[in-house]
Structure 1
Amino acid sequence: MDRSAVHHDFDRARSAFRALFDGATEEELRRPSNGTRWKNRQLLFHMLLGFLIMRALLALARIVARLPDRVGRGWARLLNAVTKPFDAVNFLGSWLGGSLMPRKAMVVLCDRTIAALHQRLDRETESGLVKGMPYPTRWDPFFREFMTVADLYRFPVQHFDFHRNQLSLT
Structure 2
Amino acid sequence: MGRAEGVDRAAIAGELERTRVQLHRLLADASDTSLRSRSAGTRWTNEQLLFHMVFGYMVVAALLPLVRMVSRLPAGVERRFAQVLDAGTRPFDVVNYYGSCAAALVFDRNRMGTKADRVIGALSRRLQRESEQALGRGMFFPVRWDPFFTDYMTIGELYRYPIRHFDFHERQLTLDCPH
CA contact (8 A) 1:46 1:94 kept: yes
Judge which range, 51-60 or 98-107, deviates more.
Answer: 98-107
Could you state the TM-score of these two structures normalised by the residue count of structure 2?
0.93
For the residues of structure 1 that align with 2:62 and 2:20, how far apart are their CA atoms?
Answer: 20
| Letter of the structure 1 residue corresponding to residue 80 of structure 2 | G
Task: Indicate the percent of aligned positions where both proteins have the same amino acid.
Answer: 47
- CA distance, structure 2, for counterparts of residue 60 and residue 25 of structure 1: 38
- Structure 1 stretches of 4+ moved >3 Å: none
Report the counterpart of residue 103 of structure 2 in structure 1: 97
User: 1:72 deviation in Å?
Assistant: 0.5
Amino acid of the residue matched to residue 70 of structure 2? V
> For 2:108 and 2:169, how far apart are their aligned partners in 1?
20
Matched residue count:
170
Is 2:136 the partner of 1:133?
Answer: no
Query: What is the aligned partner in structure 2 of residue 9 from structure 1?
Result: 15
State the one-letter code of the partner of 2:166. Answer: F
**Local SS of the residue matching 1:36:** coil
Aligned partner of 1:70 in structure 2 is 76
Distance in 2 of aligned mates of 1:126 and 1:102: 37
Candidates 129, 133, 152, aligned match of 1:123:
129
Deviation per CA, 1:19-75: give whole Å up to 9, x if none.
000000110000000000000000000000000111221111100110011110000
List gaps (5 residues or longer) in structure 2.
1-6
Cα distance in 2 for partners of 1:101, 1:64 equals: 31
Q: CA RMSD in A?
A: 0.7
Contact 1:41–1:99 (Cα < 8 Å) also in 2: no
| TM norm structure 1 | 0.98
Measure how far apart 1:100 and its partner are: 3.4
Report deviation, 1:101.
2.5
Structure 1 residues 84-138: Cα deviation after superposition (integer angstroms, max 9, x where no partner): 0000000000011113323121110101111111110011000000000000000
1:150 aligned partner: 156
In 1, Cα distance between equivalents of 2:150 and 2:30: 34
Which residue among 45, 53, 60 is the counterpart of 2:66? 60
